[in-house]
Amino acid sequence: MTTAANAAMAETGAAQDQVQWVYRDAIAKPVQLRSEQSFLRFLDAAEVLLDDRSWTSLTIQDVVATADASVGSFYNRFEDKMALLHCLEDRLGADFAAAMQAIISECELCEDLLADVDGLIISLFMRLCLQRAGVIRALDLAQRIELPQPGAEDGEGFAGIGQVLDRAFAEFAEYLNGKPDCLAGATTAELHRALRETFWLTRENLLYGSAEPDMQAVHGSLRQHFFASLRFPA
């Protein structure tokens, strides 16, 4: 298991007490703690495996073996492999929203942090892309190969990682817009766009760019892009 996978699993565990995982209307929160733990173990196993392999090469047998469970136990919880990925998608979005809210809480406790809020959020983007790279790549691939078919119900197919995180971007932009001394002059819509664009560029740099990027240089470049998107000087 790689360092990134270890970090991702640790971060996942910290959020389990806060989030009720659901797969649309097909999978509800397990009633028994043991059943819930088994459900989460499948998600953790898939994340670890995706750190080292592609979504298309991942098999249910791999996930079951890594989770130390049975195939029957897997199908008691997930309709198929794509249902598992939808759960990973939901968990990623929930974890990200919780992390964004944590930054807001810290800024409320110490408003001096608002002076470097762009640096904080870019650091979060970078950490997310590094620690959850396997899931993000899997969702990127699923978006290309599992597009909703005509007549499909809402929730079928994959809209892409940007839309999974979009609500958190919108809430954070609204929070920043309510702080008159922070990025004064930027509208909520402009802040929302800048956050979305900067995350997208972070993803491209760290997941699909140079194999060994200079992290400090990437952070500085992303910060410049964020301010350029707002038409502000860095």
Say yes or no to pLDDT of 226 above 80: yes
Say yes or no to pLDDT of 22 above 80: no
Say yes or no to pLDDT of 11 above 80: no
The predicted pLDDT at position 34 comes to 64
Say yes or no to pLDDT of 33 above 50: yes
DSSP letter for each residue of 9-41: HHHHHHHTTT----BTTTBPPPSSHHHHHHHHH
The predicted pLDDT at position 211 comes to 80
Instruction: For domain 92-230, say whether CATH 1.10.357 is its number.
Output: yes
The predicted pLDDT at position 147 comes to 52
Say yes or no to pLDDT of 129 above 80: yes
pLDDT 10s digits, 52-100: 999 999 999 999 999 999 999 999 999 999 999 999 998 999 999 999 9
pLDDT 10s digits, 185-221: 789 999 999 999 999 999 999 999 878 889 999 999 9
Q: Which of 88, 66, 198, 96 is nearest to 140 (CA)?
A: 88
The predicted pLDDT at position 179 comes to 86
Per-domain boundaries in the chain: 3-77, 92-230
pTM: 0.79
Q: Which of 3, 8, 1 is nearest to 132 (CA)?
A: 8
CA distances to 96, 126, 133, 232 from 118, in Å: 16, 12, 22, 12
